[in-house]
Structure 1
Amino acid sequence: MYKNNGELKTLLLVDDDQDDQELFKLALAELNHPIHCFTAGNGQEALDQLCTRAYRPDLIFLDLNMPLMNGIVFLERIKDIEHLKDIPVIIYSTSDEPREMLTARSMGAVDYIIKPARFNELCKLLQVVLTRGATTTPFQQD
């Protein structure tokens, strides 16, 4: 579903919480996947990075509630930019609001992951996403 020629090489985590960024990177390191993780603290910073074409991630993990530019506005903007619109975006949020899930899906997010409360759960979740390209969230399609 998200894999480019069978391999994910780069991903972008857009999250304003520095601790969440660090935990995410630590969880990736635990999995021994050769993936480079870029980070941005909000949607505007991420958009600036992507528009300079310094890199093009294979997958974006996107928090919803951030300053300057929230996740929904960021998602809307990248879907309007030709060289960015086909990058798969997974919403990665603490919110479990059905309305937000539906909005994200209608705007082109490929998945919605509620941030796990425990580190080992995050590791398991990332393992599933990175090896199978799917999760057990409401967006999973059999």
Structure 2
Amino acid sequence: MPNPLICLLIDDDQDDQEIFSLAIEDSGLDMQCVISNNASEALQRLIKDDTFLPNYIFLDLNMPRINGVQLLTEIKKISRLKHIPVIIYSTSSHPKDKEATQKLGASAFITKPSGIKELSLLLKEFFQTHYQPAYE
């Protein structure tokens, strides 16, 4: 039986973390959701733990100290992580944010919806078009 996909969510808002985790569950996807509470915590784990390779990274833009744009830039500098899709997951829907993050290597941009059902549908749609198999 293959391992579940690993999704790393980097978001400092606990309500958004819970909504995202519930939406992953609700979507019926075989996926484990790992959460980092801020960019510093996530970056430390991604740098220090060579065995931790998420299949997807969902990244909030608006975080204290290190924001999502800064973290995206750092992630793309790490050669073993370059192939991992980084999806911006933000309250922003501003075209400039989408354009700027895509130039830095983001694979997609999802504006946070207001509820679990909406997010679950968005995630199902996203994974249907951006599916990446689990690592062996």
Which TM-score applies when normalising by structure 1? 0.84
Shift of 1:121: 0.6
Residues in 2 aligned to 1:94 and 1:73: alpha-carbon distance in whole angstroms: 17
Shift of residue 130 of structure 1?
2.2
Q: 1:78-120 CA distances to partner (integer Å, 9 max, x unpaired)?
A: 1111111221101000011111111000000010110011221
Structure 2 residue aligned with 1:89: 86
More helix by share: 2
**8 Å Cα contact 1:12/1:57 also seen in 2:** yes
The one-letter code of the counterpart of 2:45 is Q
Q: 1:52 is matched with which residue?
A: 48
Show the counterpart of 2:130. 133
User: Which runs of 5 or more structure 1 residues have no equivalent in the other structure?
Assistant: 1-6, 135-142
Shift of 1:25: 0.5
Measured against aligned partners, the alpha-carbon deviations of 1:114-141 in whole angstroms (never above 9, x if no partner) come to 001122111101111223328xxxxxxx
- 8 Å Cα contact 2:19-2:115 kept in structure 1: no
C-alpha spacing 1:100/1:124, structure 2 compared with 1 (3 Å): same
* Cα distance between partner residues in 2 of 1:43 and 1:85: 17
1:36 corresponds in structure 2 to 32
**Gaps in structure 2 of 5+ consecutive residues:** 132-136
Do residues 111 (structure 1) and 112 (structure 2) align?
A: no
Cα RMSD between the aligned structures? 1.6
Q: In 2, are the aligned partners of 1:9 and 1:36 still within 8 Å (CA)? A: yes
Q: Identity, % of aligned pairs? A: 43
Aligned residues: 128
Letter in 2 for 1:35: M
Q: How much has 1:27 moved relative to structure 2?
A: 0.9
TM-score, normalising length: structure 2: 0.88
Q: Does 1:99 align with 2:96?
A: yes
| Amino acid aligned to 1:95 | S
For 1:40 and 1:104, the matched residues in 2 are separated by: 20
Kindly indicate whether structure 1 or structure 2 has the higher relative contact order, using CA contacts under 8 Å at least 6 residues apart: 2
